[in-house]
Amino acid sequence: MFKDLKRKLTATFVLTGFMFIALLFVVVYLVTSYNTTQKIDDILDQVLDGELNLQSAGGTVLPSGCIIVESYYNGDVFYAGLEEYPAEVKAEILTFATTPKKAKSEGTFDVDDYYFRYKKSTAFEGGGAQRVAFFDTSFTDELKFHLGNNLVIILLCSMAIVVFVSVKLADRIVQPTQRAWKKQTELVANASHELKTPIAIINANAGALENATDPADCKKWIKNITDQSERMSALISDMVKLAKYEADTGEISTEPVCISEILDGLGLTYEANAFEKNIDFECTIKPDVVIKSNAKLFEELAYILLDNAFKYTNEGGKIELLLKTDKKHVVFTVQNTCSGIKEEDLPKIFDRFYKCDLSHENSGKSFGLGLSIAKTIATKLNGVISAVSDGKSYLAMNVSFKQTAKDAKDVKDAKSN
């Protein structure tokens, strides 16, 4: 499908490029030819309008390439500029110029390998019947011929470049669509895989429930069905949330937000969870840190990272929530002890449905969508999220927000108000 799309785009770009360049070269050729013809006509007009006394033509000077022939009613013929031409050519020109009805008022005339443009005037002063001025266009025609050949060669070379650029451009245009299609296909495949297990369990428990007679067994089957239904609901909720964030390409509303207060509040919320799991939970949050952000989305981002840390930290482990600043950045970090992630797997951690075995206690309880949602939110907030691990003992999630001098001033003004 995408190969066909690339071919169609490439063909469209090549055809468009060819038509544009060809049209440009045709215009250049036609304009050059027109300007050349106009200059020749101007020269012919000057020769025809000049006061040339050809009967004493010893002092007559004509522009290079010009010929003039004057014929009179008494039969006399005078000419200038024919000295360099062969006798046959000279005779043909004189015959053409002295035959009253043979030549139109202007046009082209050729004899052997010589090509001329001419203009004619009649009944001029001095008793003349006809005056014809010629301009030898053999050289200019040869120049136009070479110009046409050169333009064709340039056109062919240009088309080679256009084809190369078109292929690259088509590939660049198709790549985002191809990536989106791949993500969509993977999403459907992974979601189907994730839903297959709970559906199978629900069907099995429903069958057992249908044949059960002991109330205790019925409660067990019902609980299993309820658990798997909740699991499917959670998966669908995460998928809808991810799709919503990815589909919303518009700008989000931002305002000065005290993220220290948000992180403090989340820290208090998770203290009970830490106590239940016997986890050492430390919060090192710099007070009164305010950035331009969206409070709701920032809280969602922090919640996902903390929830992920608690999910993959075994009993007796440690979780740290940190917030620090420097001159240009605000960084908050969620770090937890775990089995770690290999360096080559770190770039994949934000992929949808990617799972890594960080905690045997929670194996199979995650869908692998949380960090994908977190990355999408961080990007919408103009932040950069990254993962750091030594591969054996910890995993740290860092979210960095760049703060310009203007942002800092706006935040300071908001705090003072």
Give the pLDDT confidence score for residue 60 in this predicted structure: 57
Which of 50, 40, 231 has its CA nearest to residue 125?
50
End-to-end CA distance of the chain: 57
Full-model pTM: 0.56
**Exposed/middle/buried for 334, CB within 10 Å: 0-12, 13-18, 19+?**
buried
Residue ranges in the chain whose pLDDT is less than 70: 1, 50-61, 100-103, 123-129, 186-187, 190, 193-194, 246-250, 355-367, 404-417
List the domains of the chain with CATH numbers.
2-50+61-144 (no CATH), 250-416 (3.30.565.10)
pLDDT tens by residue, 282-303: 999 999 888 888 999 999 999 9
pLDDT tens by residue, 3-60: 888 888 888 888 998 899 899 989 998 998 899 888 888 888 888 876 444 444 445 5
Which of 355, 321, 349, 356 has its CA nearest to residue 336?
321
For 417, the 3-state DSSP assignment is coil
d(CA 33, CA 151): 13
Contact 158, 19 (CB under 8 A): no
Give the pLDDT confidence score for residue 55 in this predicted structure: 43
Give the pLDDT confidence score for residue 101 in this predicted structure: 63
Run of H or E residues at 356: none
Question: How crowded is residue 230: how many other Cβ atoms within 10 Å of its Cβ?
Answer: 11
Which of 296, 291, 178 has its CA nearest to residue 244?
296
291-329 b/e (C-beta count within 10 Å ≥ 16 → b): bbbbbebbbbbbbbbbbbbbebbbeebebbbbbeeeeee
DSSP count for the chain of H helices, then E strands: 8, 12
Backbone φ and ψ of 330, nearest 5°:
-120, 125
